[in-house]
């Protein structure tokens, strides 16, 4: 599926994937998920591509799901574009360099856990607001984030759902390096170019070996999350939270 909001270009051996929906802070709809998944598949299958480069436009990397589209087309099984994207990025064979140019919310943060190098603008902010909207985390993030930062810290980020800074994301191990906003693209692309010049077999084998140690746990965590996420999405708590979001009011969970 093609999306006008996912811009793809090739620069040498780098596949540049740009989320370009600034009016919605680069929120993802189903077509965008499908296009992102296909771009990563194409990168893996194209012998000329050695690395993918993922970024957003304006002041957002990705603000999560497009709530309107998400409510109309909720993920219901493995064939859902949302779940296809998660599966593809978890299993990507070639390195992914991410440049986080602004806010990264929900899937905008959890997708970064499956990238290999992550650079963030000093203006970037991150958030995991799943509980806030009556849902649970996804993309294997419960396992990866617990491994990165420990139970107490990830519990704070998930159960309170507050935003955190690029510097905090770096300290947690989500981000490799925080750089000035006007230097982000230059620095991140420099790393992508360096990877593209490395021997491809050694690069891909090294990535696979690094990932395989925890792949089974990540896949199992993602499946556990999915088994809870879909029923919760259809539940009353999520309905109240998402309706309140659309109505621009504070949700009321007092009756639950």
21 closest CA partner among 116, 122, 139, 108: 108
Residues in the chain: 256
Domains in the chain (CATH in brackets) are: 6-182 (3.90.226.10)
Q: Which residues contact 59 (CB under 8 A, 6 or more apart)?
A: 22, 25, 101, 102, 103, 123
**pLDDT tens digits for 151-181?**
999 999 999 999 999 999 999 999 999 999 9
Q: Which residues contact 24 (CB under 8 A, 6 or more apart)?
A: 63, 66
Q: How far is CA 188 from each of CA 16, 90, 165, 192, 238, rounded to the nearest angstrom?
A: 11, 21, 19, 6, 37
Give start and end residues of each alpha helix (H) in the chain: 30-45, 67-72, 81-90, 107-110, 141-149, 151-160, 166-172, 184-196, 200-233, 236-246
Rounded Cα gap, residues 230 and 76, in angstroms: 7
Q: What is the pLDDT of residue 1?
A: 66
Check if the beta carbon of residue 7 is closer than 8 Å to that of residue 41.
Answer: no
Number of CB atoms found within 10 A of residue 58's CB: 13
Check if the beta carbon of residue 138 is closer than 8 Å to that of residue 111.
Answer: no
Check if the beta carbon of residue 119 is closer than 8 Å to that of residue 100.
Answer: yes
**Beta bridge mates, 209:** none
Rounded Cα gap, residues 23 and 17, in angstroms: 18
Rounded Cα gap, residues 118 and 54, in angstroms: 9
Q: What is the pTM of this model?
A: 0.96
DSSP conformation letters of 153-207: HHHHHHHH---EEHHHHHHHTS-SEEE-GGGHHHHHHHHHHHHHTS-HHHHHHHH
Structure token digits, residue 14: 């780098």
**Beta bridge mates, 97:** 53, 117
pLDDT in tens, the chain (256 residues): 678 999 999 999 999 999 999 999 999 999 999 999 999 999 999 999 999 999 999 999 999 999 888 888 888 777 899 999 999 999 999 999 999 999 999 999 999 999 999 999 999 999 999 999 999 999 999 999 999 999 999 999 999 999 999 999 999 999 999 999 999 999 999 999 999 999 999 999 999 999 998 889 999 999 999 999 989 998 999 999 999 988 999 999 999 9
Number of CB atoms found within 10 A of residue 156's CB: 13
Rounded Cα gap, residues 57 and 20, in angstroms: 6
**pLDDT tens digits for 133-147?**
999 999 999 999 999
């Amino acid at each position: 599926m093609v999306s006008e909001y996912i811009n793809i270009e090739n620069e040498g051996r780098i596949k540049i994937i740009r989320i370009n929906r600034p009016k919605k802070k680069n929120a993802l709809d189903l077509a965008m998920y499908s296009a992102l998944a296909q771009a990563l598949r194409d990168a893996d299958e194209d012998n000329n591509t050695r690395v993918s480069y993922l970024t957003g436009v304006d002041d957002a990397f990705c603000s999560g799901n497009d709530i309107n589209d998400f409510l109309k087309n909720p993920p219901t099984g493995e064939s859902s574009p949302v779940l296809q994207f998660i599966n593809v990025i978890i299993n990507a064979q070639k390195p992914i360099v991410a440049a986080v140019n602004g806010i990264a919310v929900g899937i905008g943060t959890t997708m970064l856990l499956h990238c290999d190098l992550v650079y963030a603008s000093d203006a970037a902010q991150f958030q995991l607001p799943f509980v806030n909207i009556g849902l649970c985390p996804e993309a294997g993030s419960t396992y990866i984030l617990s491994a990165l930062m420990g139970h107490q810290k990830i519990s704070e980020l998930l159960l309170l759902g507050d935003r955190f800074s690029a510097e905090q994301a770096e300290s947690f191990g989500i981000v490799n390096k925080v750089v000035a906003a006007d230097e982000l693209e230059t620095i991140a692309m420099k790393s992508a170019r360096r990877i593209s010049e490395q021997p491809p077999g050694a690069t891909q084998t090294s990535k696979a070996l690094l990932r395989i140690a925890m792949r089974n746990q990540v896949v199992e965590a993602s499946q556990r999350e999915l088994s809870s996420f879909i029923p919760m999405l259809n539940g009353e708590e999520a309905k109240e939270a998402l309706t309140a979001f659309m109505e621009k009011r504070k949700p009321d969970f007092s009756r639950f």
